[in-house]
Structure 1
Amino acid sequence: MTELLEQYQHKLARMTLREKIGQMLLCGFHGTEAAGDVERLLRTYPVGGVIYFARNIESPEQVERLSAGLQGIAAKSGQLPLWISIDQEGGMVARITNGVTLMPGQMAIAAAGSNEKAYEAAYISGLELKSMGINMNFAPVLDINNNAANPVIGVRSFGESPQSVADYGVKTIAGLQGAGIAATAKHFPGHGDTDTDSHLDLPVIMHDRERVERVELVPFRAAIAEGVDAIMSAHIYFPALEPERLPVTLSHTVLSGLLRQELGYEGIIVTDCMEMNAIAVHYGTVEAAVMAVEAGADLVLISHTAKLQEAAFEALEAGVKNGRISEKRIDESVARLLMYKEKHGLLQINMHTDDEIVSGGSERSLSKVRNNQTSSNEQLERSSLQHQEVARYISERSITLVRDQLDMLPLKPERTLVITIAASVTTIADEQLSQAVTLGSALARHGLDVIDLTITPEDVALSSARLLQAAEEESISQIVVGTYNASSPSGDPQCRLISWLQQLGKPLAVVALRSPYDLLALPDVKVYVAAYESRPLAMDSTARALMGHIPFAGKLPVSLI
């Protein structure tokens, strides 16, 4: 760290304290244009970057304009180019879903069984993000999902095997960074074995240090060896790692001790959103922002509220002025952030000379960013069909036949009732999904005679009588039900409906359209397929497999025992 500080000392000396503190904040905003609140924020506070959510997205073309507009505001304000970040994991957690190649999610990729395709998927996603001016992706998820009751990770994980998660994670990091995107391994040191969503409360993991070393840390060690640009901290309390009741994000022992010193990580440490309840309720977002910097975080993420972003900025500045935080501690993070911005082409200036870091560099840097973006767009236009082929290849090979005790599959060309439980937001990590394609409509498109019914998870209980009546019709010879998190605490109505349908004596197949663990709540089901997600491509691949047009090629990345 001393060598890095010396390397950037001249640049740090030319930055004001406010400019340095700003580099350590990553802020979300509302709206789809570079105007209004976000423009005021960027002109008033020299923040290091922004994060996009679905609320900021209309189309790839609009995102490209938004990114260019935000970078333009920063440049005209004499500030450094911005990190423009996003959670584009693929599958069920993706902020941009239209006009891009939406890759299958991580568990589907692992089910498809190809590390090289994981690299291709990440590389393609990276190229497309870069074409829209995005330069940082909060992926991959390196949590090992070995807890069937985990409400927030699940299919976002590559599975339950530490080595498999490490292998797929390393390929994903290489693909994203090969495309020029800063990859972010999350959620350190592991969010896979919790039954609490940190968006809602503070999870506690009671495993001893030996177990954490043997399981949770395996993929993060691999990511560090791969040279991952950023690691995101988890809002989780590990008593074996931290003697005080502090989540990892606020723990100097874990961030500076374990991650920096023991594991030797030299990249960016970014916090998960500081407005999540695990932090906001127990510590307060603003105070926790200061605590996170004290602990060793380089980049503090505040995703939603402008007043909290501004208050955190002022609290950090006050913390330095009153001696709570040393300016050397700030300089350590800012030097690291400058180094990685330079790595990703955000600083055209030569950081090894005495050129101005803020006033002269930003306009030139913005020009370089635009040139890089134009090059990516040209490459994207040539490759879009090829990108879609990769996504389809992975999706088709991910669909997993877990059991068929009735020899029901492929489906017979007979009248079929298909009930799709629509995708539902179960955690803040999700975005609201529109059910544009149902399992029934996908089967119908491939030639099956279908009665297509869709119901939300919340309305299953109220609609069970109607659904049973439809299933009792003499013309219906087989039934397919697509479940959505039926194994969750709120999934009982789905399980009861399936039990009643089974009593009709007609062949019935269950397709898990998100969590493969639904089978644990439906042990008597004779025919069970795991699709891992309910995006349109997954629906189409599932329909083709159910009808025998493609083989069931997927392998479960988790145990259903």
Structure 2
Amino acid sequence: MMEQNQSGRSLLKQMTLREKIGQMLLCGFHGTEASGDIERLLTEVPIGGVIYFARNVESPEQVERLSKGLQHIARGRGNLPLWISIDQEGGMVARITEGISLMPGQMAIAAAGSLEDAYEAARISGLELKSMGINMNFAPVLDINNNPANPVIGVRSFGEEPEAVAEFGVHTIRGLQDACLAATAKHFPGHGDTDIDSHLDLPVIAHGRERVERVELVPFRAAIAAGVDAMMSAHIYFPALEPQRLPVTLSPAVLSGLLRKELGYEGLIVTDCMEMDAIAVHYGTVEAAVMAVEAGADLVLISHTAKLQRESFGALVQAVESGRISEKRIDESVLRLLTYKAKRGLLRMDADEPAAVAGREKDNAMSLAAAAPEQAERVERGDRSHLDVARRISENSITLVRDEEGMLPLKLERTLVITVATEVTTIADEQLVQAPTLGSALADCGLEVVDLTVSPEDVASDSARLLQAAEAEGVKQIVVGTYNAVNPSGDPQRRLIGRLNRLGKPVAVVALRSPYDLLAIPDASVYVAAYESRPLAMQSIARALTGQIPFAGKLPVSLK
């Protein structure tokens, strides 16, 4: 890192203020091609990078073309190569789901219990993302999910034990960074003990400093010790850490004080999206972008609106020109950004080769990469060996919580299977492709199935139809796949299962996302936690229910 840092200083001295501030912006856009709004933005503003969402994805091949196109535009303007980032956590939060080796999510990985598999899942994901030109992943989630009512973290977490979250997090960081991706620990200093989604409002965590040290900070300290490239700030207010009512993203006391000075973190600080309501409603995205840089952020994430991106850039330039922010403060962040771009292969270390940046010759500096970062070898996305890792983790994650009736494995009898369909419960989920039903997966395992699907909002109106199917004389056993029944909106699912239990037929409940559903259905005598409803998870659930594989998972959270 020392050589990259020295060369970064050489380049920094030759950059204009606009070039430097541009490096501090990470922008989202609409579309699947390197044209239109994003081409105009890259032409007008020397931004440091972009973020992909599902709206930017059609296929891995298209994403690879898009990445190359964006880097080509930046290079053609004489700008530095871009960070190309994504939220590819695995499981229920993944922007690319087809044509790759989609790994199970973090709680499923923790339930499967293998640190080695956690590393390998991250390394494989990193290699496949890298093959598409992506060089920064906003993962792993290091929030400790110890609040069953948390609406936004849940199965995105490795669980409720600080030490376990730290161990799985460190192995994930190493896997991603061994694939030459920048890993990002999020959401500092912890989003796990909230009951409000920061996409929608500003959560407050009122725990004292001692508790935050003992619980929330444990995995983030471990991530720092492991050399994580980036840390994402949470849009959460911690009164114990910040005397003013400021979310962490805007808090000098937390970012510059706690994270930089006390914890000694030297990597990149990136904000969560500044268009989330926790920020936008209370402070305004543009003003908050300036406040975040004042607080110590290096990279400001604005995910959706080109107008806000341009205005934030202008506001930051104005803040420096007016003396509100010193150029020295900007230089501190830009030097880090240049250093880590070099570390991850975006900049070549050619001290004797001049580099053209913004149309001028820059001597004794890091030259621009001639193309998108080179691959040491061509990675076969969706390789069989990669898929085998995903399958092993998925099968080992399925958790039998209770079977008081000895119902499992399921008998080879006519079975009613009701699948409560996947729904978007938070903006983090984005656009979910509906998985195969649990019934179809069980039918593939040889069971005679009556396969019914119902959306969460239609459970109440469809309950008569579902009960009629359950009462049919030929149906001997019932399996219900719930989806976030623990949420306040889950009352119809809970009432339906209560009525099914009164029919006198064996009923097995499978939680297709939140394992906390059992807290809402305490009279479920047969209960299985699966943590997600992706196609691979459905196959694993069916195989476990029919006895083809053992229930090997262990709960990473308490169900008391």
| TM-score bin (small chain) | over 0.9
Q: Aligned residue for 1:56? A: 56
CA displacement at 1:432 relative to structure 2: 2.3
Once residues 34 and 451 of structure 1 are traced to their aligned partners in structure 2, the CA distance between those partners, rounded to angstroms, is: 47
1:138 corresponds to: 138
Q: Distance in 2 between matches of 1:357 and 1:5?
A: 18
Q: Is contact 1:8–1:352 with CA below 8 Å preserved after alignment?
A: no
Q: Does the aligned pair in 2 maintain the 1:7–1:352 contact within 8 Å? A: no
Query: 2:358 and 2:53 mapped to 1: Cα distance?
Result: 28
CA contact (8 A) 2:77 2:358 kept: no
Q: CA deviation at 1:363?
A: 12
2:272 is equivalent to residue 269 of structure 1 = no
1:169 aligns with 2:172: no
User: CA 1:24–1:404 in structure 2 vs 1: closer, same or farther (change >3 Å)?
Assistant: same
Contact 2:513 2:530 in 1 (8 A): yes
Deviations 1:7-44 (A, max 9, x none): 64432221111100000000000000000000000000
- Quote the residue 2:374 is aligned against: 371
Aligned pair 1:385/2:384, yes or no? Answer: yes
In structure 2, distance between residues paired with 1:117 and 1:530: 20
> CA, structure 1 residues 498+5, in 2 after alignment: closer, same or farther (shift >3 Å)?
same
Equivalenced residue count is: 557
Specify the alignment match of 1:517 in structure 2.
Answer: 516
Alpha-carbon contact 1:118-1:171 (below 8 Å) kept: yes
Partner of 1:320: 320
- Cα drift, residue 357 of structure 1: 5.1
Q: How far apart are residue 367 of structure 1 and its match?
A: 2.9
Structure 1 distance, partners of 2:119, 2:10, is: 38
Give, in angstroms, the shift of residue 138 of structure 1.
Answer: 0.1
In structure 2, the residue matched to 1:544 is: 543
Does the CA contact (< 8 Å) of 1:187 and 1:233 recur in 2?
Answer: yes
- Per-residue displacement from partner, 1:301-332 (whole Å, max 9, x unpaired)? 00000100000000000000001000000000
> What is the CA distance between 1:371 and its match in structure 2?
3.1
Question: What's 1:231 paired with?
Answer: 231
Provide the secondary structure at the position in 2 that maps to 1:380: coil
Do the aligned partners of 2:275 and 2:302 also contact (CA within 8 Å) in 1?
yes
Contact 2:402–2:527 (8 Å) recurs in 1: yes
Contact 1:480-1:508 within 8 A present in 2 as well: yes
- Please say if residues 4 and 349 of structure 2, whose CA atoms lie closer than 8 Å, have aligned partners that are also in contact: no
| Post-superposition offset of 1:273 | 0.2
TM-score, L = length of structure 1: 0.97
Pick closer, same or farther for the CA change 1:269–1:369 going to 2, 3 Å.
Answer: same
Residue correspondence of structure 1 range 127-276 to structure 2 within 5 A: 127-276=127-276
**SS of residue in 1 equivalent to 2:64:** helix
Separation in 2 of the partners of 1:399 and 1:162? 22
TM-score, normalised via structure 2 length: 0.97
In the TM superposition, residue 258 of structure 1 has moved relative to its aligned partner by 0.2
> Whose helix fraction is larger, Structure 1's or Structure 2's?
1
Match of 1:478, as an amino acid? Answer: Q
C-alpha distance in 1, partners of 2:278/2:4?
A: 33
Once the two structures are superposed, what CA deviation does each residue of 1:334-370 show, in whole Å capped at 9, x if it has no partner?
A: 0000000000110114369875555568996443535
Q: Secondary structure at the match of 2:379?
A: helix
Q: CA distance change for structure 1 residues 202 and 351 in 2, over 3 Å: closer, same or farther?
A: farther
Separation in 2 of the partners of 1:335 and 1:219?
26
Letter in 2 for 1:224: I
Q: Is residue 5–residue 331 contact of structure 1 (8 Å, CA) maintained in 2?
A: no
State the secondary structure of the residue aligned to 2:236. Answer: coil
Aligned-residue CA RMSD (Å):
1.8
State whether residues 485 and 491 of structure 2, in contact with CA within 8 Å, keep that contact through their aligned partners in structure 1.
yes
2:412 counterpart of 1:419: no
The 3-state SS of whatever aligns with 1:369 is coil
In 2, the alpha carbon distance for the partners of 1:2 and 1:59 equals 38
* Counterpart for residue 488 of structure 1: 487
* Native 8 Å contact 1:142 1:158 kept in 2: yes
Aligned to 1:558: 557
Which structure 1 segments of 5+ residues have no match? none
Aligned to 2:396: 397
